[in-house]
């Protein structure tokens, strides 16, 4: 029985890799919509994938916020391979609770892995003027360069409306997302079902186009309710590794 289950997961991973056109898919059993321990398992699986993709030296890992990535941080343990790693947040404030903020997760990862970290202190609601002046600040500029030259990115994917509400977005933004039929969110960008960008939160840090210069990009997202979001986001950003759960994987496969 155990062997058959192992085999089924493998087959599902292969099928999903081919259908999504991504680099690798890793599926953990269960559905994180129902059981929080499934997030822990995704976290554990992600730690293994991170270690496998480390460069021989000078690793800089950029991380986003969210519960999925917070669970990756929880699963990290000191490791000689990670000791020299620098952890940075992928982007500035995106309106999360402290425990789910990229800065917090980044510092936790560094502490648990005994690596180093740099933070990006930027307010959540950035106006144009503040944005323009921040990017010329020498300290911010230096960390932005570090972020852009990351060797790995580990990020979450959210369901568009759920993320907009979690961020307390204005009615105007909510309306825009409905009109443009946004289904997915990642890095503060919102996407429609075809994976086209329909809205973007103004903050500094990693931009979507920077991803193409980063050797390893890992997305961590599961739960059947995120299936459409994951598929939409990966449509135009398939050059990635996906860590997901059985709930999302099965739901995606019925529609692909
Ligand atoms: C946020 C990121 O912190 O977490 C988003 O800024 C991402 O880009 C989201 O979509 C995912 O959150 P969770 O809690 O579902 O892992």
Which residues line the pocket of ligand 1, CB cutoff 6 A?
Answer: 64-68, 94, 96, 100, 156-158, 163, 185-188
Q: Quick one: what percent of the chain has pLDDT higher than 70?
A: 97
Cα-to-centroid distance, 156 and ligand 1 (Å): 5
> DSSP assignment of 89-147, as one string?
ESBS--S--GGGSHHHHHHHHHHHHT-EE------SS--HHHHHHHTT-HHHHHHHHHH
pLDDT tens-digit map of 85-133: 999 999 999 999 999 999 999 999 999 999 999 999 998 888 889 888 9
> DSSP assignment of 38-74, as one string?
HHHHHHHHHHHHHHHT--SS--EEEE--SHHHHHHHH
The helix or strand, by DSSP H or E, that contains position 27, with its residue range, turns out to be: strand 24-28
Average confidence (pLDDT) over 56-76: 97
Cα-to-centroid distance, 160 and ligand 1 (Å): 10
Atom of ligand 1 nearest to the CA of 188: 8
Q: Is the pLDDT of residue 72 over 90?
A: yes
Cα-to-centroid distance, 65 and ligand 1 (Å): 6
Q: How many CB atoms lie under 10 A from the CB of residue 126?
A: 17
Q: Which residue has the tokens 């300290």?
A: 139
Q: How many CB atoms lie under 10 A from the CB of residue 56?
A: 6
Which among 216, 221, 175 has a CA at the least distance from the CA of 52? 216
Atom of ligand 1 nearest to the CA of 220: 16
Beta-bridge partner residues of 217 = 153
Q: Which tokens is 132 given?
A: 């323009």
Atom of ligand 1 nearest to the CA of 185: 10
Residue 7: pLDDT band (50, 70, 90) is: low
Q: Quick one: what percent of the chain has pLDDT higher than 90?
A: 88
Atom of ligand 1 nearest to the CA of 91: 6
Residue to substitute in 38, 40, 69 for testing ligand 1 pocket (most ligand atoms within 8 angstroms of CB): 69
- Give dist(CA 150, CA 206) in Å, integer: 9
pLDDT tens-digit map of 165-214: 999 999 999 999 999 999 999 999 999 999 999 999 999 999 999 999 99
pLDDT for the residue 1 = 54
């Amino acid at each position: 029985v155990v062997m058959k289950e192992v085999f089924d997961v493998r087959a599902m991973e292969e099928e999903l890799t081919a259908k999504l056109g991504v680099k690798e898919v890793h599926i953990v059993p269960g559905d994180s919509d129902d059981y929080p321990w499934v997030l822990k398992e995704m976290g554990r699986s992600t730690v293994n994938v991170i270690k496998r993709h480390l460069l021989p030296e000078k690793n800089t890992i950029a991380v986003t916020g969210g519960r999925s990535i917070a669970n990756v941080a929880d699963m990290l343990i000191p490791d000689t391979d990670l000791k020299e790693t620098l952890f940075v947040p992928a982007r500035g404030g995106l309106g999360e609770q402290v425990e789910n903020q990229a800065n917090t997760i980044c510092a936790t990862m560094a502490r648990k892995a005994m690596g180093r970290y740099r933070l990006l202190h930027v307010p959540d609601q950035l106006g144009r003027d503040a944005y323009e002046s921040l990017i010329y600040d020498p300290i911010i500029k230096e960390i932005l360069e570090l972020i852009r030259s990351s060797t790995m990115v580990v990020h979450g994917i959210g369901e568009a409306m759920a993320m907009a509400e979690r961020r307390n977005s204005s009615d105007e933004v909510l309306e825009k997302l409905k009109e443009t039929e946004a289904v997915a969110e990642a890095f503060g960008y919102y996407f429609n079902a075809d994976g086209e960008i329909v809205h973007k939160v103004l903050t500094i840090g990693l931009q979507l186009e920077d991803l193409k210069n980063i050797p390893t990009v890992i997305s961590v997202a599961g739960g059947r309710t995120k299936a459409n979001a994951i598929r939409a986001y990966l449509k135009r950003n398939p050059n990635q590794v996906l860590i997901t759960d059985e709930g999302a994987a099965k739901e995606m496969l019925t529609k692909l």
